[in-house]
Structure formats: C-alpha cells, structure tokens
Structure 1
C-alpha cells in the first residue's frame, strides 16, 4: 500500500532522514520504522515568515518496496559500425547529444578542443596559482564544458523543449545523488561533477562512440550548401551525416571561422558586469531572518532584478549564476584577459556568497563596433576583458572595489578577504566598465539595497569582470528542424549557438538536436 503525504516541516526534520522517518512514523501511527519506506518527491524552502518552513511531498510504502526510482534505463546499443555524426564540443550539449545519438542507433564522434576532465584540473591550478592561461584548457574549455568547474546548478526555465526529469535521471544513473530529483533548485557541485562527466564519457565509449580530446576544429567541410564534416588542427578530415556544433559561448575562433566562410551568424543580446561577493553569513541573515542558519538549512541564495535608466534608456540590471557558499574563479580563455565566474562545491560550505551582477547590453551600445558585423558584441566583450587585465597589472589579478565605495565613487583603501585565488587589486571599477554599465550597476545596487536590507554594504566587494553570461553571437536555426537556416546538415546547439543558458537547457538542446538530425538524415 502507498500513501501520499504533503508535509510542512522544520529544517531539522526535513533535512535529517532519521528525524523525518520518526516524524512520519508518528504521523501514520506506525509501530516500527521497518514497516514502511519513504520516497521523497519534492522539497522546497519557504523563508517568507519568521520561522522557516520546508514543504515536502513524499510517498510512503507500507510492507512493500517502492517502484524503481528511475524510469531511465542505461541500456545502450553498440553503434561502433553505425553511421556516424560529428559532435563538436564535450560540454553538456555535446555529451547529451552523443548519448541520444547512441540511443537512436548512430555513432557519435565527439571532438573536444580541451583535455579530459581530470587532466584539465592542472590547467585550472596554473591559472589560479601561476596566472597562466591555457587557451585550450581552462574554466570554459575542456571535457564537461564551463559548467563542470563553474558550479553545477541544474535548474532551468527551459521546460518546453524537453524533459527536465529525463536529464536529471541520466545524471543520477551516472553517479549524481538522487536529491537532485527532489529539490526545487538542484545542485551537484564542482567537486562531484567531474566524476559524473567521466561516467557519461565512458557510456559513449562503451557503446562504440568516439571521444577525442586535444582536438580543435579549425575549419568546416562544405559541399553545395551542406556541412559534410570538419577539419581539425591536426589536419584530419572527419565527416558524417551532419555536424552538431556545441562549442560553448566562448569559442570565439569558431564564430570567426563561420563568419569567414560565409555561414550566416548574427549578433544577439547579452549582459556584462561584475561579480559581487558577500559573507555568506550576511546573506543567510538577510534571507533567513536569523543570526545563524544552523546545521540543516542550506546556504541561502538570492535573485535580484531591476530596471535602471541611463541617458534616457532603460536597461535591466540583474543577478546571474548566484553561488551560495562558493568561490570566484578566473574564467579567461586567452592570455591578456581577466574574466571572473562563480562556482560552489556540493556542500556549499565556503564562507562567501557570490553572484554575477550584470547589465543588459543594447544594440545601440555596439554602434562603435559595427565594422565587425555579427561579431560586434564579441569584440566589445573582449575589449572590456582586456582592459580589466591591463588595469589590474596584466596577470589574473582582478580589479575590485568595495560595494558602497563603488556606489559613492570612492577608491577602496583596503579590500576585503576574498575567495578569488589569483588575488585582487583596488581599482575604481569605472576605469574598467563602460559608463552605461557602471552607472546602471550603481542604480541597481541602490534599488537592491532597499529590497534586501543590509545587501548594500562595504562588507561586500565587486570583482571585475563578469562578461561570459551568454554568447554574444547566435547561429540561427530553423525553429522546427533545428537545422541552420542556410547551411544544411549543420545543427547549432546549446549556449554557443545562443539556444541555452546552463547545464540543463544545454543538455536538453543537445538531445533535441540529435533527434532532429536523425529524423531528417538518418537511414
């Protein structure tokens, strides 16, 4: 027998399995806890009142085992001799495209410019400790993509395009904890994602697919308006039924080559700003309305958005990729740039909270870059990143300023402790950011300080620059077929193509691109 429960609990019960079992035993008048099994379905925190509550939906099974947790079955056919499809990029878009191709009976050949997820760690250490940026292996490039070492948040608004539950189940089947199936805002963590990514790759290899690292695509094989394959830096020509291009939002060389070959691309909206870092305890106090969140409540997060007016034009100012209990990391993809991003380990136990705080870039802001055509936003983005590097000393040291000092246009005499390992240098952020972004951020911070009392403070500091929020370029595709609007057999995929914004939406997009390609060109 099964009974469904909707419970409102204290955090001490909701996040403690033993206490939860005792509570439910009392609730259902069970004498022995061995007589029933709990299957948690959904869990969310309600911090609106003085006393924090946790809403939990669960199923309780009496004297019987619950059904299998996963509908997804990790049962892949061998595709070693099947027709092949070229997949460029081993981020979530590329890996999930590869797995879906295997399920459909086709062989993926995955080409990744960076290194495998474990070897990649050494290059990340070099950025943090020695300020050395490897242009092919960094926080953005390499197996698993940018999300692997940049937090691992799994929530998305892109639910119309595919099954969020299916993607989560595939991750659980490859080693993720099953709590991601339950929590409203699921998160794996940068310390656990690498193993899961390795397992995804092994599934591809064991089924007869191919994954090639240190294999940079430098050109495309075009014949009569169709993309037949790609050419690698080693000079190898690799062809297939089509090409799923899932290179991520920072593969600028790919955008340039597409543009040079006359493959239609276009500029798209994006945002640019800074990272802001508060003490996590301060954010907990504001969000949970208590001095100490205790043992069971997770590190609290926030989401903020406002409209700011600069020179008569209204533009959005908003938080992006908020990382509770996290770290700020260097995310440049080439020497001479300073770019920052955020990440959180699975326990979210850092004493810092950080978030991107960015401003919408409007088409008219890019008028000085119009000679670059569809690449205008990319050149604007890169110029700000290079200026950030030059002003802070031409290493990976990042420019920074205390939050209230920035609002008051005051140089910070002394900066705060930070999670950013390469170090900070006190700089007036106005020297780094274009005026429309700096002024919009000031107005946004003032508005956020009213929404969250205590948020606008010199206990926080801003770090520049957060510029890789999304791709500044879109590779347009047909809405129904997902194929490029002009070049046949090219399937632009995920963040780099302008059609996703995180791990989940990229994974969903990868699956759909695989399905659409096979639907049209499969045998």
Structure 2
C-alpha cells in the first residue's frame, strides 16, 4: 500500500533518514518496520511561525516492496534524418534539440554566441573593463541568459508540459538530485556550464549539430513556407522547419521579421531596478533571528503590491547573489542577478519592476515597446558615465527624492554612481516604485532601509515583442514551418518554461 502524506522536519534533521522515517511512522500510526521505503516528493521551508521546519511531501510504501522506475530518454541516431533548424542554444533550443532526437529528427542548432567555456573571457571583459561583445555576453552564447545568471528552475508552468522531464534531463546531465524535490530548485551559475556542455555532447553524440558564432541574418521563405536560413550573411542551411528560440534580447531578429513583413506584435513587459540588501538583513526578516542557522539556506522573498491599479513586484530574487551587467549592445545599461550554487555571497538582490502596458507607449509600431525599453537603457548608460557603471540610489533617498551622498558597498562589479533615478525612469515607473517600497517594508521588517541600494535598470524581464503563432500547430500564422518559441517569442518566462516550450515546438513539428 502506498500513502502520500506531509510531515514536518526540523532543519538540522533534513538529511536524517531515521528522523524522517519516525515522522512518517507517527503520522500514519504504522510501526517503522512496516514502512519498506519512502520517497521525498517535495520539500519547502515553512518559516511562518517561530519554530522553522521543512514541510515534506512523502510517499510511503507500507508492507509493499519499492520498485524503482526511471524515465529513460530513448534517443535515436539521427545523422541522416529529416533536419530541423533550431536558432538559439538557450534552454528552449537545447531542449528542443533533445526532443527532436527522441522523435527521430535531426536538430541543427545555430548560436550567434560562443560555447560556455569561451564566453567566460567575454564576461570577464564586461565585468572588469566595461566592454561588451555584442555577440557574446550574459545573454548571447551557449545555454542562453540562464547559464550565467543563476539557473533558477522555479516555475508555475504546470499546465504547459512535463516539468519533471525537464528536471530529470538536468539531473541526467549532472545536476544534483535535490532539484527534483526542492520547492524552489536552483542549480547555480558555477555548475550550469558543465551541465550545458554535457547536453551539447548528447546532441552531438546522436547525430545532431551545434554551430557557434553562427548568427541568423535572413530567413529563406518561398510561397509562404520556410525553406531555410542564412547564417552570417553568407551560408545557407536548408530545412522545412525552423524553431526560432532566440531569446528576448535578440532585437535584430524582431527587426529582421519586421523588415520582411512577417507579422510581429508589441507586447507588455515590466521595467524597474534591481534592489540589493545585505543577506543578513533578509535572513533576520524572514527567519526572525539574529543569526541564520547553518542548517537553513539564505532566505529569499517574493513581494507584490498594487499602486494605483499598477502592479509592482519582485522578480528573479537571488539570495547570496550578485548583480550582473547584462547589456547586449554598446551604450546601454541592463542589470540582472545570479547566485552560485551555495548562495554564499553577502548580498541578496531582486529585480523590482513595474508593469508597462501597451497604453503607456502610444502608437501602432510593433517595435514601439522595444524602442521604449532601449531608450531607457541608453539613458541609464549616459547617467552612469560609461564603462557600464550603473546609476544607483539608496532606497529611502529614492523614495524621499534625495540624491544619495554615498552608496553602500554592493556586488555590481563595473561600479555604481549616485544619481537621481527619477531622471532615468519614466515618471509613472518612479511613482509606482515609491508607492510600493514602503508598503513592502510593512510586509517584511527591515526591507525599507537606506542600507538597500537601487541599481538601474532592470528592463529585460520579458520580451517587449510577441511573434504570433497558432495555438494548435505552434506555427507562425503567415509562414508554414516557422515555429516561434519561448521567451523571445513571448511564450515563456524562465529556464523551465522555455525548455518546455522547446519540447512542445519539437512535438508540433513531428505532428505536422
């Protein structure tokens, strides 16, 4: 007999199998020897009361032997199979490629950036010299934006596809088994490159292709159907199916489609700043303690507020993290955040952003939201004074309209400059943030403080453009064989949801 139950376990006993077995025994009122096996299905921290515990969802096998089952991915040799071009080697592209191999299709992945190892040099130049390689940076390159910005695997995309399959593929390629059970699974920027490399090796081993420094510069379309692509303005690659998984920062792709009169649409997105606190402050607030227990992970938070009918919310919260410069072009500032697997840096940061609606940016141009986004990023660059120095302000100073005399120590390596962020952000964004931050402070003790720094701008939360597609076939409504995919097309928001969308696009190709 199998029983699914929930038990509470003290943090210092989280890995103690005897304690967990005892908890199961007491919960079910069954003697321990009758419990032949148990699996932890999910676990999460419950810090709502003074006594902090882990809540565990457990499946117990009572008087029944446990027979382990593993999901096997039946990859096939596809060297001579039908070709599918996949543009972009982010999570959507890589998981689309793996799914193609499962289905007996040959994926040809083209990536404008470099492999994960080569990307490191370009990231070092960004952080130390303030120099952006426009084809290899935090957004472009093998693994996409997620490779060097954390590897958070938390998602609400339960209805889009098989989340467990995505997690199992990560485990199969080197991720820790904990991601299968943690409520907020996380791999860490220090570990992701090895996992991404292993996924590439699987693609190659079964006959797929992966090409770096290969930028899509044109689509070959005949009689309303895609026939292939042009790479680097010279090389043609032919196939009758193209998955467009280019990510939300590939602005040239939107411009290419618009130039070719291929339908795209303006899309709402969110804009704001990245806010950083000392991690100890967040720990004290969330765990209600002076010093965080060694058995508890650095604390995270999630905050949301309505200010005059406009949503303000935290986004991509990074405990023990670092603020990263994520510009993809010269003369712009874009910030994001990431954490190593241990989340052991002294700061906690989170994007804190305001909804931008289509009504906020008047006009009919499908690129108008993108141009609005770009203009703010350029203003941030000018305010910082160059070399990717970011404009910044202390939190209370920002709300009370004061220039910060100095700035707190922070994790943003290119450096910060004290400015009035009101001069960069649109007025309705500034006013929404100013209304929300004190309210966040009422929800979380210690949050509203001048120890916190606001760094601008957090502008790439999602794509400001949507590439439409049919909800059943996943194809573009005008172009047969063109499959807009994941974040860059406006259909995903994070590593797992992007991976699921890549899998769904590959499945759609086979069904055609």
Match of 1:468 in 2: 460
Counterpart Cα distance in 2 of 1:189 and 1:299: 14
Corresponding position: 1:338 with 2:333: yes
1:190-209 to 2 correspondences below 5 Å = 190-209=189-208
Counterpart Cα distance in 2 of 1:516 and 1:22: 44
Counterpart Cα distance in 1 of 2:353 and 2:312: 6
Counterpart Cα distance in 2 of 1:505 and 1:242: 21
Which deviations, in whole Å up to 9, do the C-alpha atoms of 1:314-339 show, x marking residues without a partner? 31111111111111000000111111
Counterpart Cα distance in 1 of 2:435 and 2:267: 25
RMSD: 2.0
Tell me: CA distance 1:131–1:10, structure 2 relative to 1, closer, same or farther (3 Å): same
1:22-37 to 2 correspondences below 5 Å = none
Match of 2:394 in 1: 402
Shift of 1:377: 0.7
Shift of 1:21: 6.1
Match of 1:416 in 2: 408
Note the residue ranges of structure 2 that are not aligned, 5 or more in a row.
none
Note the residue ranges of structure 1 that are not aligned, 5 or more in a row.
none
Corresponding position: 1:352 with 2:344: no
Match of 1:215 in 2: 214
Shift of 1:3: 6.8
2:380 to 388, 410, 413: 388
Contact in 1 for aligned 2:88/2:247 (Cα 8 Å): yes
Shift of 1:58: 2.9
Contact in 1 for aligned 2:189/2:338 (Cα 8 Å): yes
Shift of 1:67: 3.6
Shift of 1:24: 5.9
Corresponding position: 1:305 with 2:341: no
Tell me: CA distance 1:258–1:347, structure 2 relative to 1, closer, same or farther (3 Å): same
Q: Tell me whether 37-46 or 378-387 shows the greater mean CA deviation.
A: 37-46
Could you say what secondary structure the match of 1:48 adopts?
coil
Which deviations, in whole Å up to 9, do the C-alpha atoms of 1:481-514 show, x marking residues without a partner? 1111111110000000000000000000000001
Which deviations, in whole Å up to 9, do the C-alpha atoms of 1:267-326 show, x marking residues without a partner? 0010000000011111111111111221111111111111112xxxx3111111111111
Contact in 2 for aligned 1:267/1:376 (Cα 8 Å): yes
Corresponding position: 1:315 with 2:310: yes
Which deviations, in whole Å up to 9, do the C-alpha atoms of 1:354-392 show, x marking residues without a partner? 00000111222212xx37x10001111111111101111
Match of 1:70 in 2: 70
Tell me: CA distance 1:461–1:88, structure 2 relative to 1, closer, same or farther (3 Å): same
Count of residues in correspondence between the two structures: 509
Contact in 2 for aligned 1:483/1:492 (Cα 8 Å): yes
**TM-score, scaled to structure 1:** 0.93
Shift of 1:45: 1.2
Which deviations, in whole Å up to 9, do the C-alpha atoms of 1:155-180 show, x marking residues without a partner? 11111111111111111111111111
1:245-260 to 2 correspondences below 5 Å = 245-260=244-259
Match of 1:48 in 2: 48
Match of 1:124 in 2: 123
Corresponding position: 1:87 with 2:86: yes
Contact in 2 for aligned 1:39/1:66 (Cα 8 Å): no
Corresponding position: 1:454 with 2:449: no
